[in-house]
Amino acid sequence: MSDLPSFVERPSPSFGSRRGGVLPDMIVLHYTAMESAEAALERLCDAEAEVSAHYLICEKGTVFQMVAEDMRAWHAGAGRWGVVDEVNSRSIGVELANRGDHPFSEPQMAALERLMQGIMARWNIPPERVIGHSDMAPGRKIDPGQRFDWQRLARQGLSVWAEQGRAGDFWQDAAAFGYPVGDVSDDVLLEAFRLRFRPGFTGPLDAVDSARMAGLAMTWPMDARAI
């Protein structure tokens, strides 16, 4: 963590061992939906709340570590990505202090990028295994939300972006990429896809949706480690 001079330890009691002895092969990004980073820290470190994450990054770029990376934090909850339905055991959770209704600050994004570079190198996590809470829990969660700059991460190889492919079956391609097709209604899943890859767009499924999902499925099909 030497590349993060504002790194602070803030241990949370809410963690355990990764089930089945698995190692983390995903990163899940969240926003706190709270008024301040300190309020979020208090909740994430409150034993009675029974929630936590590995890291929280405040608006000024300070990075707080609450749970060691080799341990299981309680950040993802119910949901699925590919065939992984116990996401907490397979992931590292990063919270960003943000109410969800305003942009993420430059110091915060820069700190996130440095943090992710280290995590992905330590655990050999590929960019397609970096997802939002809304991707694995569509309808239940919307974070990190439409104000989050996924394209910025993708340009640095820290996540992926949807390039145009040859449009096919949107739902088959969504399942191939990792979305939990069948767990929620088609409308809810389409909304989750657009929240990340077409923010602000509404209306019925169209050719652009299908082309972009096809590009995701073709370029970044579900990793064999997801099985």
CA 5 to each of CA 1, 66, 91, 108, 161: distance values in angstroms, whole numbers, following the listed order: 8, 17, 24, 13, 30
Cα separation of 175 and 15, whole Å? 30
Cα separation of 97 and 90, whole Å? 23
Tens of pLDDT, residue by residue over 182-209, are 999 999 999 999 999 999 999 999 999 9
Sketch the domain layout of the chain as residue ranges: 7-155, 170-226
- For 7-155, the fitting CATH number among 1.10.150.130, 3.40.80.10, 3.40.50.1820, 3.20.20.70 is 3.40.80.10
- Kindly report the average pLDDT of the chain as a whole number: 94
Using DSSP, state whether 214 is helix, strand or coil.
Answer: helix
CA 16 to each of CA 29, 32, 39, 52, 136: distance values in angstroms, whole numbers, following the listed order: 20, 21, 23, 11, 21
Q: Is the entire prediction scored with pTM above 0.85? A: yes
Q: What is the pLDDT of residue 26?
A: 97
Instruction: Say if residues 118 and 3 touch (Cβ distance below 8 Å).
Output: yes
Helix (H) or strand (E) holding 29: strand 26-31
CA dihedral for 117, 139, 143, 208, sign (positive or negative): positive
Percent of the chain with pLDDT over 70: 95
Cα separation of 27 and 136, whole Å? 11
Active site residues: 95
| pLDDT(45) > 90 | yes
